[in-house]
Amino acid sequence: MELNIELIQIGKLNNSSHERSILGPNNRYLNLLVDLIGYDILLIEGKIEIDKRASEDAKDVLMKFLSVTEDLLDNNLTLGEREMINIFESVKSGNLDTLKDVYLKKELVTTLSNGKPIYAKTINQINYLKALETNDIVFAVGPAGTGKTFLGVCFASKLLKTGACKKIVLVRPVVEAGEKLGFLPGDLKEKIDPYLVPLYDCLDDCFGKEHTAKLMEKGAIEVCPLAYMRGRTLDNSVIILDEAQNATQSQMKMFLTRLGFNSKMIITGDITQIDLPYNTKSGLVEAYELLNNIKGIAMCKFDKSDVMRHPLVYKIVNKYEKNFLDSFKDESDED
């Protein structure tokens, strides 16, 4: 806290016993809250104090945040930095009722091979899972670390385990380092494997490493570069296109028309990380704009509030997101 900052009391905790949980170890959660609010805050003996220069909006957000947090603590929520960010973003957006559903009505996504249950942790994740249940094509667009790929693979693994589908097909455009697929050593699987490590990690979590390998040997899990999808029709499958922002417009059209009967497609990507050549429009961007009113196709958008990684990742994404939007605005002004 800066020197000579005058704090004023704006309220009290409903239950002073929650103070330690809200402060966190070594005041870690309080410091995070200060960063989120933008003003110095003090909790002591149940009293809530804030920098006297704070805006009325900041005071209102703080009081609502603490009220919701206390309600969740009363229901035995284990508070962490991830939850602090999620509560804060939900208070700002006004999605408090849905937030309580996230934490209090926990909907099981799947159980990992080690027995760990996986639950949706944000409002957008819940909406994503509902979209996967009720639509045959689902686009999930947003920054890294929001769970769009992991939850997509978890959903697909559940369908494979229950027999609701016969195959999982993992697809990805290969453009990362400007290398041509043919210059990489090995057979097709060995060529594409380095680009699919994040998907393999998810599969290993869901099935276990050995079982994943057996499923791949049987053909129940298949990997395929996007360029090799032409001419195929995939029935009884869940097809996941990862890093879809790097698919061209023609590739995206080709991919989407591979959908067969009793199949689902999950398309994930981050439109702020497009690696295509300059002046080449992303197929993901075009599809997101073009197909958003077709029944059976769902568009799910994730943002920084859904980031499930270290709190610094949330801050990094926030900065890059703002910079991206500012750049986009500048380009629009020039046009």
pLDDT score for 328:
47
pLDDT score for 3:
47
Fold that domain 7-103 belongs to in CATH: Ribosomal Protein S8; Chain: A, domain 1 (3.30.1370)
What 3-state class would DSSP assign to 291? coil
pLDDT at 174 over 60: yes
User: Who has greater pLDDT, 304 or 166?
Assistant: 166
- H or E segment at 47? strand 47-51
Fold that domain 106-307 belongs to in CATH: Rossmann fold (3.40.50)
**148-162 and 123-134 are packed helices; what angle lies between their axes, rounded to 10 degrees?**
40
Q: Which of 161, 165, 119 is nearest to 259 (CA)?
A: 165
Q: Which of 228, 223, 226 is nearest to 284 (CA)?
A: 226
Q: What are phi and psi of 10, to 5 degrees?
A: -120, 0
38 conformational bin, left if phi > 0, alpha if psi -120 to 50, beta if neither: left
Q: Identity (one letter) of the amino acid at 288?
A: Y
Q: List Cα–Cα distances, 51 to 10, 32, 34, 55, 78, in angstroms.
A: 10, 16, 10, 9, 28
The percent of residues above 70 in pLDDT, for the chain, comes to: 88
Rounded-to-integer distance, Cα 82 and Cα 210, Å: 32
Rounded-to-integer distance, Cα 120 and Cα 5, Å: 40
Rounded-to-integer distance, Cα 315 and Cα 84, Å: 13
The percent of residues above 90 in pLDDT, for the chain, comes to: 52
Q: What is the residue extent of each domain of the chain?
A: 7-103, 106-307
- The arithmetic mean of pLDDT across residues 282-286, rounded, is 95
What 3-state class would DSSP assign to 177? coil
Other C-beta atoms closer than 10 Å to the C-beta of 321 total: 15
pLDDT at 302 over 80: yes
The answer to whether the CB of 196 falls within 8 A of the CB of 170 is yes
pLDDT at 47 over 60: yes
Q: Which of 190, 146, 145, 152 is nearest to 169 (CA)?
A: 152
Residues 6+ apart with CB under 8 A from 107: 119, 120, 126, 129
Q: pLDDT tens, 110-129?
A: 888 888 888 888 888 989 99
Give the pTM. Answer: 0.78
Q: pLDDT tens, 205-260?
A: 999 999 999 999 999 999 888 888 888 889 999 999 999 999 999 999 999 999 99
pLDDT score for 223:
84
Which has the minimum average pLDDT: 139-143, 169-173, 272-276? 272-276
pLDDT score for 96:
74
Helices (H), the chain: 19-23, 28-37, 56-74, 81-93, 96-104, 123-134, 148-162, 188-192, 197-207, 209-218, 249-256, 283-290, 311-334
pLDDT at 44 over 80: yes
- The arithmetic mean of pLDDT across residues 88-101, rounded, is 78
Q: Which of 161, 186, 156 is nearest to 171 (CA)?
A: 156
pLDDT at 41 over 70: yes
